[in-house]
Amino acid sequence: MYSLSADRQSYAADPVAYYQTLTQQLNSLLEIDRNWVTNMAQTAAFIYSMIPDLNWAGFYLAQDNDVLRLGPYQGRVACVHIPYGRGVCGTVAASKEAILVNDVHSFAGHIACDSASNSEIVVPLISAGRLVGVLDIDSPVKQRFTDADLTGFVQLAQTFVDCSDLTSLG
């Protein structure tokens, strides 16, 4: 069984080690069931509760018509549909590359789903070579995220992919 033992002081002292611990904990949490809906819900709740200074953590799912559709998340209400190439999430869906944005208001084409969000990390979810969605992390704090956070969220996203049956997605 998993244990939620990480804390803010551990995060501040060594973010790389903190994310390694979180990745191990998330793996333990998700290995219970491979259902993608269950695992998205668990991952969003886990990230939202374990990472300081977030106001949104969740998923958008890839749709056939090059649109992302809102999936399980924690936080305030959000945009329901995001076209590929628009906003941070749509840009990541189109490029299939993770991105860290320190000030979303200066990001060309930013979609203000929540005016309280000021910085963001988005990671593509790739399974069997295809985009199945994105992991979206928002903070109300500008300049909130570092390269260690980006690397950590890429690891957490990969853990979700590895632990989930995503054959019906994408």
pLDDT exceeds cutoff 60 at 68: yes
Q: Examine residue 12 and state whether it is found in any structural domain, yes or no.
A: yes
Q: Examine residue 170 and state whether it is found in any structural domain, yes or no.
A: no
Q: Examine residue 120 and state whether it is found in any structural domain, yes or no.
A: yes
Any idea what the CATH number is for the domain that residue 131 is in?
A: 3.30.450.40
Q: How far apart are CA 3 and CA 26, in angstroms?
A: 9
Which 3 state secondary structure label does DSSP give 150?
helix
Q: Examine residue 169 and state whether it is found in any structural domain, yes or no.
A: no
Q: Examine residue 3 and state whether it is found in any structural domain, yes or no.
A: no
Q: Tell me the sheet residues that pair with 139.
A: 119
Q: pLDDT grade, residue 3 (50/70/90)? A: very low
Least confident of 7-16, 24-33, 72-81, 123-132: 7-16
Q: Examine residue 2 and state whether it is found in any structural domain, yes or no.
A: no
Q: Examine residue 71 and state whether it is found in any structural domain, yes or no.
A: yes
The count of structural domains within the chain is: 1
Nearest residue to 51 via CA among 132, 150, 166, 134? 150
Number of Cβ within 10 Å of residue 10's Cβ equals 14
In this prediction, residues 67-88 reach a mean pLDDT of 95
pTM of the model as a whole: 0.93
Q: Examine residue 1 and state whether it is found in any structural domain, yes or no.
A: no
What confidence tens digit (pLDDT) does each residue in 88-131 have? Answer: 999 999 999 999 999 998 988 778 777 789 999 999 999 999 99
Q: Which domain holds residue 68?
A: 8-163
pLDDT exceeds cutoff 50 at 1: no
Q: Give residue 130's region: left, alpha or beta (phi > 0; psi -120 to 50).
A: beta
The DSSP code for 35 is: B
